[in-house]
Amino acid sequence: MKKKRISITDIANALNVTPSTVSRALNGGGKVSEKKRNEILALAKELGYRPNPIAKSLLENRTNTIGLIIPEFTHHFYSRMLAGIESVTSEAGYQLLICTSNENQAQEIKSTQTLLDARVDGILATISKMNDKFEHIQEEMDSGTPLVLVDRFSEEIETPYVISDDFKGAFSAVDYLCEIGCRNILHIKGPDNLSTTFNRFMGYKEALRKHEIELKEELLLESSDTNLLEKIRFCLTNHQVDGAFTYSDYLAFEIYKVASELNIPIPEQLSVIGYADEPISTYINPTLSTVNQQPFEMGAFGANYLLNKINNPEIALEIKNLETRLVIRGSCKGLEG
């Protein structure tokens, strides 16, 4: 059975004073005689008194808790983001209440409700991919609970957010491929309807434009393509592809597979750059060049924005488009190449 914790009243009774006096002694607030204060502190320590945050929450209408809605845990990106969030919130003395959405809107709505019911002081959310309705977000905001979006945002939601600069990230990758001499650069796009998919594609286009390379439709594939492997094979066989930039690291590995099959050496004949800097990138052979999105920093920034908003609801809209880092590894020729 859960043992009854010792309360402020227990101490008060033992010492023949009132709870208020004990409260004052413990919180240093009002005036208490040195003698009583010491007695109280001593007894509290002896009995292992720990204040009950539940009671305080009820009184103060705040819980020192932050709610987190995240699609899932298993992608390295989210793990790192979570670590960044946790490092900031735990430092600030906040607890983290975590819900997953599984990229499922219904579950996201439920999670939002759950967190609001729990009276969290603020919510950090990565909204799910398939969101087309935002009533639950709107309801969340109407409730007055501060909200900060991380990793994904929507123009329909006016609240602080931290995202990664996908355009620049993609641009830097494709720019690099052009610099090392690639002229037929394959791009595998991400899932439809995702701003990241769109922005990375824009970065790709812009880099080609900068280098006066014509965009060729036949060099564009989509991650959702049926028989993606076959399409990559066709592409590599027929279009003298010498570079590839993919929406994710995992898509880059698909290219690795086909290239290995076709005996196309990487990076000698084909330079490849992925996206996300999954840890696997450094273990695969050749090691994969990729774009690092600094997920830890993203989480940390998001958490800080949220704390700011909690402490000052009238704060100006804080928005961050986080810089990416291009990480060149064995899958690309060198700049002199």
Among 1, 3, 48, 59, binds DNA (CB under 7 A): 59
**Site residues for a copy of itself per CB under 8 A:** 1-5, 50-55, 57-58, 61-63, 65, 72-74, 76, 79-80, 82-83, 86, 90, 95-100, 114, 116-119, 142-145, 250, 253, 256-257, 260, 278-280, 283-285, 313
* Closer residue to a copy of itself in complex, CB, 33/143: 143
CB of 95 to a copy of itself, least distance (A): 5
Q: Report the partner that residue 227 touches, choosing among a copy of itself, DNA, none (CB closer than 5 to 8 A by kind).
A: none
Under rule CB under 7 A, residue 1 binds DNA: no
Of 7, 195, 269, 287, the one binding DNA by CB under 7 A: 7
**Binding DNA by CB under 7 A: which of 1, 2, 28, 34?**
34
- Of the pair 22, 326, the CB lying nearest DNA is at 22
The answer to the question of residue 214 lying near DNA (CB under 7 A) is: no
Q: Which is nearer to a copy of itself, 140 or 175 (CB)?
A: 140
Query: In whole angstroms, what separates CA 292 from the centre of its chain?
Result: 13
Distance, in Å, from the CA atom of 264 to the CA atom of 237, rounded to the nearest integer, reads: 10
User: Which C-beta is closer to a copy of itself: that of 155 or that of 316?
Assistant: 316
Q: Is 118 in the site for DNA (CB under 7 A)?
A: no
Phi-psi category of residue 317: left, alpha or beta, with phi > 0 → left and psi -120 to 50 → alpha? beta
Q: Can residue 260 be called a binding residue for DNA (CB under 7 A)?
A: no
| Binding status of residue 335 toward DNA by CB under 7 A | no
Is 337 a residue that touches DNA (CB under 7 A)? no
Q: Is 23 in the site for DNA (CB under 7 A)?
A: yes
Q: Which residue in the set 1, 2, 3, 16 belongs to the binding site for DNA (CB under 7 A)?
A: 16
Enumerate binding residues for DNA (CB under 7 A).
4-5, 7-9, 16-21, 23-24, 26-27, 29-37, 51-52, 54-56, 58-59, 61
